[in-house]
Amino acid sequence: MEAVVFRPRPSQAMVLDYTEGKMGVSAVPGSGKTWTLSALAAKLVAQGHLVDEQEVLIVTLVNSAVSNFATRVGRFMQDRGLLPGVGYRVRTLHGLAHDIVRERPGLVGLSDQFSILDERLAQEILRDAAQTWLRSHPAALDAYLALDLDERQAARVRTARWPDLVVRMATALVKQAKDLQITPPGLQYLLDGFPDALPLLEMGCAIYVDYQRALAYRGAVDFDDLIRLALQALRLDPAFLGRLRRRWPYILEDEAQDSSRLQELILSELVGPEGNWVRVGDPNQAIYETFTTASPKYLRDFLERPDVLSLDLPNSGRSMQSVIDLANGLVTWTTTSHPVPALRRALGEPYILPAPEGDPQPNPEDDPDQIDFVAQSFSPQAEIEAVVRSAASWLSVHPEHTVAVLVPRNDRGFAVGSALKAADVPYVELLRSTPATRNAAGALGNLLNYLAAPTSARKLAVTYRVWRRDDRADEAKRKELTGIAKILLRCPRVEDFIWPRAGRDWLRDLQSEPFWSPTLGEHLSEFRTLVRRWQGTTALPIDQIVLTLAQDLFHEPADLAIAHKLALVLRQATSTHPEWRLPELTEELAVVARNERKFLGFADADTALDPEAYRGQIVVTTMHKAKGLEWDKVYLMSVTDYDFPSALPQDQFIGEPWFVRDELNLEAEIVGQLKALDQNPDLFDYDEGFATLGARRDYAAERLRLFYVGITRAKRALAVTWNTGRLGVAQPSVPFIALRTWWEEEAT
């Protein structure tokens, strides 16, 4: 483990001077906020103000950050000669909510064995509820059809398009209702008391009722319930709240720019009026707002409160000066010149300052030539090819450096991955799930696939490849395993190999073949023993099958942990679908393996990615996932007016499908109706189209910040490209053009 060298900069030292009260910190990208916050946590524990059972509570955004924080605070504690793991607790909001609810489940109507439904199962239940509703109300949403559709088109939309849109609307509604603490009966009550018909909301309410009932039937809650119920528990029992306040006298919150309303409410309750609360974040990096209830306004408002000490961490040693200038340039352009005035608060101060003189982490040497805004108009495929060529070439010149290709959407990332693979360029892909999760799920999926169809020689051969997959790295072994897999593929009757009977033994017959060797015999014999054991597991419940296979397949702790998690996910699937057997469960696993399902894995097996571990390879990921990471060279792709719209009239928005009239964003509209009804049913401050406009602006603001995040990932080199889109009509995004123009003017 590396020695901890943490010499705080003056701005960091000011943060570390904190002892009590409320403090807010705006930290620019690369300013070392995690280090600073970890050091602060360790200091507070070491000060000795905590008695037994008291802890500093650190709340952060994602699992990978939990692990990161815990490790760093632990090191600081050890440096101070203290026991690591004592006196502090690091949690995501979901982890914290789980802790709270687990302590008093009965308070919020849960049994002690409540389960938390996996995202996919929750979506499946919602989809079922939506489909049930649509079947009984096929024409209920006709009033929202685009006016220029003929009857044939309308009929097609009803069957082919509405189902997905209804699910998306219901998802948005359920999420928002839970955020506003509105239960299904509560919503029904509001609707019953409202004089006019609200078809969108009535639809949403019916699905919400069904969905929540289906969860209750299973004794399960979804992730949003967990948060909602945690707040409810704190509010219901002041004594419980008081006990938790005593337990956590200090609360440190990281990534506070992505705080949601409920997160703020939960933490406010836990802090109390006199409590100690430190919130650190960068409002310029708030990129989790769309389809969530998060907003940077909570942090901004907090920073402006009179009882809050507001500080900045403006220095960053991450990037060369030109990258810093670009990022600051984007802030200036946004705040002064964005064509939509409502978006001028999307970014703001503090500006990034380089590390001060003599800093142990100085900025890389500046080289303005390494900034490249590629003006050329590419087709989507041509853009990928150009980036792949450039990245491969850059990598060959700088093999010791780190490179990332950052895309705005997963599907674009998959296309880049395919192109890199075709070009034989080494790369690693971090999109919906990590390679580790996919590999583990894939390996297990292949084995289960064989067990579901044990007569198949083809699947048996795949199983053999899976078993010896580690040998693929060695050329000689790879040849050998490919050869043996081919032999297995030709096995005419699998039963004569795995379970020979008198006079019918394929392995023995093989001895007369010219390619026979004792090594081959040993390999196949060993494999046969294993396959017999695996076949013996099929009478077990699915989780036990997976665990048994995993013991034979995996050796790395992280792989085994993933296998365990997969086992539990499949077990949960069987409780939802008691009729499912191995073939259906194998398909479920294949979904994870095919990268179609966001899989909530373990901390360091999932979202955490260490760019340094992939020197000499190209990392392909989304700009969202890149947050908190840095590479020597960064490619930002698809910076078009489609992926980065600016809320201008000509912009197209993903949430506004062609078959809905008046370019309405129905997800936004249903949420708008809910908010208006909840706020004041008598006034009902809702005008059709306003919510759509608001959603456009929110989305455009978030995409601006995403662009900012993308730029600030680069240490020494940055290339930004765009393409003309699927229909050939996309343009470079407005901020792209503005920044490129500004950059060129600066250069001249």
Partner 1 sequence: MNGITLSPQQLAVAQASLSCRLFLEGVAGTGKTTAGVARMHYLLKSEIPADRLLVLTPQRTLAQPYYDALRSPDTPGGGVVTVTTIGGLARRMIDLFWPLVAEEVGFQRPADRPVFLTLETAQYYMARIVTPLIEEEGYFDATTIDRNRLYSQILDNLNKAAVVGFPPGEIGERLKGAWMGDLVQARIYDQAQACALRFRRYCLAHNLLDFSLQIAVFAEHLWEEPLCRDHLTETYTHLIFDNVEEDTPVAHDIVYSWLGTVESGLVIFDHGAGYRSFLGADPVSGHMLQDLCDEQRIFVESFVMSGSVTALGAAFDRVLRPSVPDGETAPPIGDAAPLAPAPTADSVTGNNGIRATLHFGNRRFHHQMLDWVVAEIQALVRDKDAFPGDIVVLAPFLTDSLRFSLAHRLHRVGIPVRSHRPSRALRDEPATQTLLTLAALAHPEWEILPSRYDVTDALRHAIHELDLVRAQLLAQIVYRPHRGQPELTPFDEIQPDMQQRITFVFGGRYEALRTWLAAYRTRQAAPLDHFLSRLFGEVLSQPGFGFHRDVDCGLVAAMLVESVQKFRWISADLADNRRPLGREYLEMVRQGVIAAQYLAPWQEEEQDAVLLAPAYTFLLSNRPVAYQFWLDVGGLGWWERLYQPLTHPFVLSRRWPTGKVWTDADEHALRQRGLQRLVLGLVRRCRVRVYLGLSDYSEQGFEQEGPLLGAVQQILRRFQSERGGV
Q: Which of residues 598-657 bind partner 1 (CB under 8 A)?
A: 600-603
Q: What is the dihedral of CA 470, 476, 479, 481, to 10 degrees?
A: -40
Minimum CB distance to partner 1 smaller for 527 or for 708 = 527
> Does 454 sit near partner 1 (CB under 8 A)?
yes
Q: Which residues pair with 26 in a beta bridge?
A: 281, 312
| Local structure of 220: helix, strand or coil | strand
Site residues for partner 1, 346-385, by CB under 8 A, read none
Q: 55 vs 632, which CB is nearer to partner 1? A: 55
Phi first, then psi: give them for residue 721, nearest 5 degrees.
-130, 165
**Residues from 134 through 193 that contact partner 1 (CB under 8 A):** 183-185
Nearer to partner 1, 526 or 687 (CB): 526
Residue 22 or 228 with smaller CB distance to partner 1: 228
Ramachandran region of residue 16, left (φ > 0), alpha (ψ -120 to 50) or beta? alpha
How many amino acids of this chain bind partner 1 (CB under 8 A)?
84
User: Residue 714 and residue 531: Cα distance in Å, rounded?
Assistant: 49
* Shortest reach from residue 203's CB to partner 1, in Å: 20
Residue 427 near residue 617 (C-beta atoms within 8 A): yes
- The stretch near partner 1 (CB under 8 A) out of 156-164, 552-560, 655-663, 703-711 is 552-560
User: What is the CA 143 to chain-centroid distance, rounded?
Assistant: 35
Nearer to partner 1, 393 or 551 (CB): 551
Q: What is the DSSP string of 493-518?
A: -HHHHHS-BTTB-HHHHHTTSTT--H
Distance of CA 250 to the CA centre of its chain: 28
* Strand partners for 129: none
Q: How far apart are CA 523 and CA 238, in angstroms?
A: 66
Residue with Cβ nearer partner 1 (439 or 482): 439
- 557: Cα separation from own chain's centroid: 23
Considering beta carbons, is residue 107 or 392 the nearer one to partner 1?
Answer: 107
In this chain, which stretch among 451-459, 642-650, 664-672, 714-722 interacts with partner 1, using CB under 8 A? 451-459
Give the C-alpha separation, 361 to 52, whole Å.
Answer: 38
Is residue 236 near partner 1 by the rule CB under 8 A? yes
- E strand map for 495-605: none
Residue choice 13, 86, 197, 648 for contact with partner 1 (CB under 8 A)? 86
How far is it, in rounded angstroms, from Cα 111 to Cα 97? 16
Residue 713 β-bridge partners: none
Nearest distance from residue 557's CB to partner 1, in Å? 5
For residue 305, the tally of other CB atoms under 10 A from its CB is: 11
Q: Which stretch binds partner 1 (CB under 8 A): 101-109, 124-132, 166-174, 729-737?
A: 101-109
Among 637, 633, 615, 610, CA closest to 722: 637
Q: For residues 528 and 195, what is the distance between their CA atoms, to the nearest angstrom?
A: 72
C-alpha distances (whole Å) from 205 to each of 51, 172, 221, 675 are 48, 12, 18, 13
Q: Of 484 and 558, which CB lies nearer to partner 1 in the complex structure?
A: 558
Of positions 262, 371, 430, 547, contacts partner 1 by CB under 8 A = 547
**Binds partner 1 (CB under 8 A): choice among 79, 128, 237, 471:** 237
Is residue 561 near partner 1 by the rule CB under 8 A?
yes
Provide, rounded to whole angstroms, the least separation between the CB of residue 198 and partner 1. Answer: 22
Instruction: Give the one residue of 571, 577, 675, 697 binding partner 1; rule: CB under 8 A.
Output: 571
What CA–CA distances, in Å, run from 626 to 285, 383, 434, 707?
Answer: 11, 20, 13, 11
Site for partner 1 (CB under 8 A): which residue of 123, 377, 439, 535?
A: 535
- What one-letter code names the amino acid at 312? D
Of the candidates 362, 201, 349, 374, the residue with the CA atom closest to the CA atom of residue 284: 349
What's the closest the beta carbon of residue 600 comes to partner 1, in angstroms? 8
The residue (of 114 and 631) whose beta carbon lies closer to partner 1 is 114
Least CB distance to partner 1 at residue 60 (A): 12
Of 100 and 391, which CB lies nearer to partner 1 in the complex structure? 100
Single residue of 14, 342, 425, 453 touching partner 1 by CB under 8 A: 453
Touching partner 1, residues 103-132 (CB under 8 A): 103-114
Min CB(705)–partner 1 separation in Å: 30
458 binds partner 1 (CB under 8 A): no
Comparing CA positions, the residue from 315, 367, 416 lying closest to residue 715 is 367
Q: Exactly one of 418, 511, 519, 551 binds partner 1 (CB under 8 A); which one?
A: 551
Give yes or no for residue 81 binding partner 1 (CB under 8 A).
no
Please list every residue from 17 through 76 that binds partner 1, using CB under 8 A.
52-53, 66, 70
Contact call for residues 234 and 268 (beta carbons, < 8 A): no
- Provide, rounded to whole angstroms, the least separation between the CB of residue 459 and partner 1: 12
Of 494, 524, 592, 608, which one interacts with partner 1 (CB under 8 A)?
494
Among 568, 591, 693, 737, binds partner 1 (CB under 8 A): 568
Q: What does the per-residue mask of binding to partner 1 show for 193-232, with x meaning CB under 8 A?
A: --------------------x-xxxxxxx---x------x
Q: Tell me the sheet residues that pair with 278.
A: 23, 252
